[in-house]
Structure 1
Amino acid sequence: MTGHEQGAGAVVGVAPAAEARGVSKRYGATVALDSAGLVVRAGETHALVGRNGAGKSTLVSILTGLQRPDSGEISFDGAPAPAPADRDAWRQRVACVYQKSTIIPALTVAENLFLNRQAGRGLIDWRGLRRRAADLLGGYGVDVDPAAPAGSLSVEQRQLVEIARALSFGARFIILDEPTAQLDAAAIDRLFGRMRELRAAGVTFLFISHHLQEVYEVCQAVTVLRDARHILTQPVATISRDELVAAMTGDTGPALTAGADRPPVPRTAPVVLDLAGLRLAGHYQDIDLSVRAGELVGVIGSASSGKVTLAETVAGLRRADAGTVTIAGGTPKPGSVPAALDAGLGYLPQDRHREGLVPLLSVAENATLPIADRLGPAGIVAPARQRAAAERMIRTYDIKTDGPHQPVNGLSGGNAQKVVLARALANEPRVLVLVSPTAGVDVRSKASLLGAVAGAATGGTGVLVVSDELDDLRSCDRVLVMFHGRIVRELPRGWTDAELVAAVEGVEQP
């Protein structure tokens, strides 16, 4: 019997376990939350869903007191949230079990449960501490040895210990942030069973997941955020999967379809990127993927899917535990960026500021880094040749700048991203790997960037686009969906927004 079939379970007529009213939060020019709201009724498991960037993480940071909202109010059980500095009071009202565990591996389970809360003065009563831990774990049905090193626990056990620790502070509102991302099917079933038991005992959950099937399995109500706004809150039993996906995607306006009318890549085109049997523990496994010359292949998945780590492996930033990466017929040294570049790879990283640019260098210096050896004799860069090459790139990619001499840290986000792309293409790579190529840029810059990518594919470059932005993927010949480190589905060109998002969120469509 699914969660919503069991009835709402919420306590009617009492104040909500947690409520956010009119919450807004900005980070510079970025609006993370725009008058968003959330009402979680006492005694229910309430899902919070939305695509990456919808505002979920920001709302959680505010609900747990880690961030102050710019405006709006937070309350628990009808009372205003504690002062930001009163961490003990926050712990008594709310706790979050994050996808990345906060358990300290070098300490025992008992030490983690009662960190900074050892009873008495002077010497610690270790036997008494372990006895208290055993009583606490036993009270919540957690079968873990209090004396065991926390680092020896499974992911499932660490989560249950964190839930028990939260409840020991007195909190009865627990936020679970993608708790199933690293669990197998049997462990997920056990977690859901324990959640139902705790809910029956009066614990309220806010459940965040990128797998919508789980929402229907364990939740009674669901809230959707989209573009930093609250879209809907509704009983799970009254909303279909298609309606839920539609609420998450919304009307995204005119699609950016540069290159979507490219002719199909012939099956006789040579394979320029081949991944065979790739595995990296904790990130991805059994990855077999190929890209032909002139082909655009997209990869999409949740934050825990392993897609970015896979791209970093292709680029030589990480080394796989098993499998091979073949670029343009050659197998570069694993875990070596220079080897990948020499093999014919162009790479646009996820974080252009930290990984893609040298901020104090000029546009010309950044854009021409891969071809510096061609700009003068004996490895000496001739300023005139560097300037001429940079000016060609500025024209080709429509980079808005004062000139090649301008420091790259003075550019807008979109133009800075164009510099990174220009550099990736400067060496005429056989393979181009892009991670979130249009993140944080305006619509016009997006169109320009995607046009350049499509142009590279038309010219014969094989392109792998790793992104959550649907517009980044519309011109792809096919899109691969990753989930829990595996490729689980392939969609050919012509997919709809609802179809692709449903595939990412694990929803079976008729």
Structure 2
Amino acid sequence: MTELPTGATASVVSAKGVGRRYGPTVALHDVSLTVRPGESHALVGRNGAGKSTLVSLITGLSKPDTGTIEFGGEPAPPISQREAWRSRVACVYQYSTVIPHLTVAENLFLNRQSGGKFAISWKKLRSQSRELLDSWGVEVDVDTPAGELSVEDRQFVEIARALSYGARFIVLDEPTAQLDRQAIERLFVRMRDLQAAGVTFLFISHHLHEVYDVCQAVTVLRDARHVVTAPVSELSRAELVDAMTGEQGGLIVADAASREKLAEDSAAAVTVDSLSGDSFENVSFQLRRGEVLGFAGSNASGKHQLAETVYGLRKPSAGTVSVGGKTLEPGDVLAAMRAGIGCVPRDRHHQGLVLGLSIADNATMSILDRLGPGGIASPAARTKVATKAVADYGIVTAGPNEPVSSLSGGNQQKVVLARSLASDPNVLVLINPTAGVDVKSKQALLAVVDRVRAEGKAVVIVSDELDDLRLSDRVLVMRAGEVVAEHQAGWSDGDLVADIEGVELHD
């Protein structure tokens, strides 16, 4: 772990007693944050704790109602002076802000291209871009369309773009959420290199082990208030979780090894036979009612594409998926739903929710045909179903007609789960079900999964999180598009990770 620079006393950014309200909602109350030069400072807290609001204040996207913000001891510029803010701070978000159809060079110097009044000097633009990327050790082709880059490379391009404005303070908002283990480690290596070159980071993550891997200090927010700021080395993991939740103890997961084994004669719910498709080949497995089957592997393993093919989001190139003995029409989501498959997709913002609609609208999308003639459901019918979902899944909200866009990440994911279970499916496919949610929301989501398993439903969990996979009776490990190992409940972290990474633990 990188040590704090000796003698560093001046702050890169200092927020003192800042507060922010949105109508009657207190989003932040009397919060202070100080980030020292050259450190990686973690900002953690449950969904809804106030992290996003604080980031909006220190990046100039909104103005505090109370308190002050300073950079290097000088007052923050007025909100209207965007260039002044860009020279002081930048934020790299979980979801990329690059423009996919523009090249890397065009993204780096968007609206800052060199050339005459009506022309762009493409040669100079490429040269400047290559010089910028080389100076920060970013190895991508400047002529590549940004949409063709990996998630990892897009993040490095965004960091380089921020540095090109002169900012030496970068906010990384959930940067590892879409990266596999190897890409995460490469990100951390680059962060350490940039720290050594004088760059300071505010690091936001729900993966607390990452705080200990790459950060020197941590600030915890809870219920819109500051709880603690401390050197990472002086705060144990249990203490960190306690500070986030206000309760003692960390994540409690029902490990499949501790429950009674499934009866051998349990009926088959899903049969996948020699299935091949985008990024995977010749995968076969059978899933029984009341069984949880996990899939582990890197982001490049093909596990996500396999799950999406089972649900009909992708069309296979070969093989079949059968539910209850009936072969499904390939690449047909409606056929999968009619056959009794529900799904929590991996990207809740683009695949699982319509953010401009209410909780009631989102939670009832899959059952409109049951709520009214021709799929036209009355507001009262939708509200009734959604009110029950709010209670059943512990969705924290002002009411079922609140827009899902106003909910925290954990509560949004609960709405997605409620929608997927509204039709009472026999099979539930979960893809990264707890990504980007806090400890207690994660525990609540996994408890629902365990409950539906106990009701006799078959569950597929595809996840990068080992805790998600502990619910599984079996975990299949995928690597390079193939199933390479199977682990029964009770597996050890070391053995599972070794198979994911393709290394031998036991020579």
What range describes the TM-score normalised by the shorter chain of this pair?
Answer: 0.5 to 0.7
Q: Which residue among 189, 198, 203 is the counterpart of 1:202? A: 198
- With 131-140 and 456-465 compared, the bigger mean Cα shift is at 456-465
Correspondence for 1:269: 266
Q: Return the letter of the residue paired with 1:46.
A: H
Correspondence for 2:235: 239
Deviation at 1:90, TM superposition (A): 1.2
Correspondence for 1:126: 122
Structure 2 distance, partners of 1:431, 1:279, is 21
Question: Is 1:117 paired with 2:112?
Answer: yes
Structure 2 distance, partners of 1:124, 1:155, is 28
Report 1:110-189 matches (<5 A).
110-119=105-114, 121-122=116-117, 123-151=119-147, 153-183=149-179, 187-189=183-185
Paired residue secondary structure (1:424): coil
Correspondence for 2:423: 424
Q: Which residue among 209, 219, 228 is the counterpart of 2:215? A: 219
Structure 2 distance, partners of 1:286, 1:235, is 49
Question: Is 1:49 paired with 2:44?
Answer: yes
Correspondence for 1:251: 247
The root-mean-square deviation of aligned C-alpha atoms, in Å, is 6.0
- With 159-168 and 60-69 compared, the bigger mean Cα shift is at 60-69
With over 3 angstroms needed to count, the CA separation of the structure-2 counterparts of 1:274 and 1:129, relative to structure 1, is same
Structure 2 distance, partners of 1:226, 1:279, is 46
**Runs (5+) with no aligned partner, structure 1:** 374-378, 401-407, 494-510
Structure 2 distance, partners of 1:213, 1:257, is 17
Summarize deviations over 1:175-198 as a string: whole Å, max 9, x none: 223434455555545443333332
Correspondence for 1:84: 79
Correspondence for 2:35: 40
Structure 2 distance, partners of 1:300, 1:27, is 41
CA contact (8 A) 1:367 1:422 kept: no
Deviation at 1:163, TM superposition (A): 2.1
How much identity, in percent, do the aligned residues show? 47
CA contact (8 A) 1:358 1:366 kept: no
Instruction: Give TM-score, length-normalised by structure 1.
Output: 0.64
Question: Is 1:342 paired with 2:341?
Answer: no
Correspondence for 1:94: 89
CA contact (8 A) 2:293 2:476 kept: no
CA contact (8 A) 2:273 2:284 kept: yes
CA contact (8 A) 2:278 2:302 kept: no
With over 3 angstroms needed to count, the CA separation of the structure-2 counterparts of 1:68 and 1:295, relative to structure 1, is farther
Aligned residue pair count: 456
Correspondence for 2:397: none
CA contact (8 A) 2:269 2:324 kept: yes
Correspondence for 1:18: 13
**Runs (5+) with no aligned partner, structure 2:** 393-399, 491-507
Deviation at 1:323, TM superposition (A): 7.4
With over 3 angstroms needed to count, the CA separation of the structure-2 counterparts of 1:127 and 1:371, relative to structure 1, is closer
Deviation at 1:43, TM superposition (A): 1.5
With over 3 angstroms needed to count, the CA separation of the structure-2 counterparts of 1:409 and 1:329, relative to structure 1, is same
Q: Return the letter of the residue paired with 1:115.
A: L
Indicate the structure (1 or 2) with the bigger Cα radius of gyration.
1
With over 3 angstroms needed to count, the CA separation of the structure-2 counterparts of 1:267 and 1:65, relative to structure 1, is farther
Deviation at 1:116, TM superposition (A): 1.4
Correspondence for 2:288: 292
Paired residue secondary structure (1:170): coil
Deviation at 1:110, TM superposition (A): 3.1
CA contact (8 A) 1:11 1:43 kept: no
Structure 2 distance, partners of 1:101, 1:265, is 43
